[in-house]
Structure 1
């Protein structure tokens, strides 16, 4: 029967989440109780940070084992002077305090997956002559501070795609989409807005998918997986219609953080906006998304499009961030305040304050004759500066073919 009882190692947390980052000090205590005077050889604590991956590829004839390992740091501190002959400790309760500093550097966050893990461990061990050592390990929840500069990723993201529908129908589909942020935390909600111009004879449905892509690497071999965390299906869009579709995607509260600074394990997130079209290749737009701790995302603006209320008078709307999908020159830059460096909205985009999407009626000052004339000049010469509402006219009339406006 061992005379060493209640062997334990504890450490003090620095925040409510119980996480540590680069440069933090980890204070702790090794404690145990001796039922009698006992000769002890050494007591030490060891802290390590490591990454491991391992998986097996199977084929009909053979199997291949793939593995890789990375060690980020290892520290060892003796709390009791090591003596080969041993030193007698008296009966009773003993406490040995320690402190160690997590090194600075680009260290990846803690992670556990199907084929690999990144683990930061604290181990305490007591050794005696002619006895098996007594040890205990405890994991440290490490959150990296090495993320892209926050001010570069707080603005909305925009993208567009156009596609000929296919052999079984005629026409083209154009979609512009905007995601209101690029960085968020678990539990947050992101807004996705898409404008779809269906100038084909097909019906289609917009779909939104939050995807997590994990990749494990061992030498030249890789093992990847794609997981859908949130998926929403929109309403059907009829042929030859323009629709505005939007949705709210919630980040799962247990989502792990984006992992990009480990060379053998990576975790990335994407918001996929696409149109489900039967018997045709689905047009899609992929938006990268960074998921990080709330302490890193608190810098971002709390509004959808910057420090303004979306759709309020004089403030930018989602449409200001939708990219143009037509080959005309950008309209001249406007001076004055704007969200994330974008120009302030045009007067025509501020008329319907209860609707953040300008209505085609706002462009009614342009007759069909004027539109054809302007469009012909733009497509043929490509050098005219659009008036205030010209861009909206072109967007709402995208279903017209070039031959119809020339």
Structure 2
């Protein structure tokens, strides 16, 4: 290759930063032939991008059905900082002789930035770009992405450390007959509402089947929901629902009651957005599902879960009376978090940018903090905290 570019970060090989930190590093350029250029500049930028298509059918000429493709898009720029590292005084072209060139860069990142994310229909991306400005030719553009983590500290938001409970009752009708077919009652709970990657979510459920219907499968699943929002041609949302971790309990027979429990592991996944991004919203819940056959619909209970970046430490900041030290909390992790690549939950977004051919780490995935707890769950039991509950709901099948 005539020109090679390596972009590195100072004292941060993983390339993970938070808003408000100083991002600095080095760009190393190596060229083996003379290049006519106007200059070299380094850009550090962050942006969010959303794009998807939908198809609409309408009546066309001669009463023929015509299918149109509608593009939904949105774009937000978070920051864009550029510095010229090599430029002639008069702005004219000059020759870059073969050799190795090194340039340093440094930028203070804005304080309020959404976390990096890469989904099927959108991305929140941050990158360092080195551009060789070439007259009358395509520029040489080299990109190196990095990760931004927006902190979600459970020590400052202890509301997420309360237990969560939900309960549902569903009545079944006799198919093709009048009368009552019985009901199924389910109550699900988790000890707290906030977790970090590396923890496991202890899920408990009590199921009482008083119906003539058996369930061929019961399961608990951690689910990620991503809402993508468009600006053009008008405001619209598209949702992507993806299972993260699944646990199977087995069948539930007629007139049977069971107590179910499992631990759902949390891998390296994006933290909950909490409205930090205007065009992409990431949220999670634990779903307990009972699957039935025939004309009966499945029964589910959803427990909202918040994925954070800093776990709740038991007896954290005891001098601050605003932080309760006796609430249910997490046992101190064994070590600082490791920043691991996000797991692939499905297809990832592509910008279709021709300049991406010069990107280092083309298959880049954001890195998220993953903690290691000695007891796995990282939860310290405590029955004194009140549970977050909702009134039981009742559904009835109609035929």
Relative to the length of structure 2, the TM-score reads 0.67
Structure 2 residue runs of 5 or longer lacking an equivalent are: 58-65, 314-328, 332-374, 393-399
What is the aligned-residue RMSD (CA, Å)? 3.5
Give 1 or 2: higher strand fraction.
2
Note the C-alpha offset of 1:143: 1.7
The number of equivalent residue pairs is 313
Contact 1:13 1:19 in 2 (8 A): no
CA distance in 2, matches of 1:53, 1:130: 32
Structure 2 residue aligned with 1:194: 205
Question: For the structure 1 residues 6 and 139, does the alpha-carbon distance in structure 2 shift closer, same or farther, using more than 3 Å as the test?
Answer: same
Structure 1 residue aligned with 2:170: 163
Larger Rg: 1
Higher relative contact order (CA 8 A, sep 6+): 2
Structure 2 residue aligned with 1:101: 108
2:42 pairs, out of 45, 61, 75, with 45
Relative to the length of structure 1, the TM-score reads 0.66
Matches within 5 A, 1:147-296: 149-168=156-175, 169-204=180-215, 206-219=218-231, 220-251=235-266, 253-260=267-274, 261-278=276-293, 279-293=295-309, 296=310
- SS of residue matched to 2:188: strand
Contact 1:259 1:267 in 2 (8 A): yes
Question: For the structure 1 residues 56 and 6, does the alpha-carbon distance in structure 2 shift closer, same or farther, using more than 3 Å as the test?
Answer: closer
Structure 1 residue runs of 5 or longer lacking an equivalent are: 309-314, 327-406
Contact 1:40 1:87 in 2 (8 A): yes
Matches within 5 A, 1:6-405: 6-14=4-12, 17-33=14-30, 41-60=38-57, 61=66, 62-81=68-87, 83=89, 84-85=91-92, 92-105=99-112, 107-127=113-133, 133-145=139-151, 149-168=156-175, 169-204=180-215, 206-219=218-231, 220-251=235-266, 253-260=267-274, 261-278=276-293, 279-293=295-309, 296-297=310-311, 299=313, 300-302=329-331, 307-308=380-381, 316=383
CA distance in 1, matches of 2:149, 2:27: 24
Contact 1:305 1:316 in 2 (8 A): no
Note the C-alpha offset of 1:247: 1.8
Give 1 or 2: higher helix fraction.
1
Contact 1:43 1:82 in 2 (8 A): no
Note the C-alpha offset of 1:70: 0.7
